[in-house]
A = this chain, B = another copy of it.
């Protein structure tokens, strides 16, 4: 086997170094798969649906071969047609080959693999046991492989994790809420996904680390060079006790486009997404939109209307049906799909509140009694608008409860 002019043992060595199962034997076909998927993470931009469809149809190795060997579009179409995957239009395939070709540089794949081995990053494939299979909900827009620095436990916790995201320009209120929710989820054993940005994201990760919980950071660039650089130490700690994940190979710089695509991984890999604090045009609203589009429950933390930093959260609640969440319990309710289910009979509210849970007729009789002046039963009946009989019954009940006292001149309310 030769790929990109590399000898089989070279490919196998590189592949073994980044294999998901550290120290495991990697046979030739496994190595080819690892190498091909690693190459694809550098050739196709995140979210490239033609790459996703081609890899699904032909497998990563044959898909790479079709590109390296410059198959005709006709041949690719024929080979794809035997798979069950929806066919890609020849025109789109041609455009895709055109945009992939400039990136078909064997040295960059090799460099990315070597750099990954150097920083102990591993390449997780869809077949691996730690693959977060929820991202497969993205279909052909899903990742072809994931580069990871971290512990298996963090990846394994993703199927029950919650994403907490928010704006870089956070207020003290927003950071307080990020801390509350991050720590609260950790304390309940729920792992927390975020994007490692300044502001809300950073506070989320920090609060989880402080609580000894599991946290996963998805990056928009390679996992070898942490971004933002001010979070280098933070990301280093996450890589030690949690996981730092990216679909881009080592050496890839983050770009605006990649931030937007990274957001879809945050949304898809977790059970629910909560926007903690976000202005009207915060990038975290994009994560929220991804969560909604892959059918994940979406929550937003409200804030003062007078704070522009909460305007995005309010917009999500108003226009995008995000659930208003105000506590850790409510985040967990959201994630377990129970939000809003516990609806009570509507007229209960307020009635309870105002009457301290007393039955309405007792409230009416108590209202009609005075602490100072005694009133006859007839007078109380008139004041309450109840019958004499009903009034007598309720007065007797209130007397038993010690709330009303009967004297010679009539009934009085017990002083409290």
Contact = CB atoms under 8 A, between A and B. Distances in A.
Interface of A: 43-45, 48, 95, 98-103, 105, 173, 176-177, 255-257, 259-260, 263, 281-290, 292-293, 301-306, 310-311, 314-315, 317-320, 323-327, 330, 339-340, 342-344, 346-355, 360, 363-364, 367-368, 378, 381-382, 384-390
Contact of A99 (B281, B306, B342, B385): B385
A282 B354 CA distance: 8
A160 B404 CA distance: 46
Contact of A305 (B292, B327, B367): B327
B367 A257 contact: yes
28 contacts: A99-B385, A99-B390, A102-B388, A103-B385, A173-B304, A176-B306, A177-B305, A255-B367, A256-B363, A257-B360, A260-B351, A260-B354, A282-B353, A283-B350, A283-B354, A284-B350, A286-B350, A286-B351, A288-B350, A289-B347, A289-B348, A289-B350, A301-B305, A302-B302, A302-B304, A315-B349, A319-B344, A320-B343
**A contacts with B: majority SS:** helix
Given A305-B303, A323-B318, A340-B319, A260 B350 contact: yes
A44 B386 CA distance: 9
A245 B314 CA distance: 35
A28 to B, nearest CB: 29
B346 A324 contact: no
A85 B404 CA distance: 40
A310 B173 CA distance: 15
A218 to B, nearest CB: 15
B302 A305 contact: yes
Contacts of A351: 260, 286, 289
A45 B391 CA distance: 14
Contacts of A364: 45, 255-257
Given A305-B301, A306-B176, A353-B283, A105 B382 contact: yes
Contact of A318 (B102, B176, B339, B360): B339
A289 B330 contact: no
Contact of A387 (B95, B314, B343, B346): B95
A350 B263 contact: yes
A382 B103 contact: yes
B346 A292 contact: yes
A389 B330 CA distance: 51
Contact of A285 (B289, B293, B349): B349
A349 B279 CA distance: 12
Given A257-B360, A327-B305, A387 B349 contact: no
B339 A385 contact: no
Nearest to A330: B318
B317 A343 contact: no
A110 to B, nearest CB: 16
A50 to B, nearest CB: 11
Contacts of A255: 364, 367-368
B102 A45 contact: no
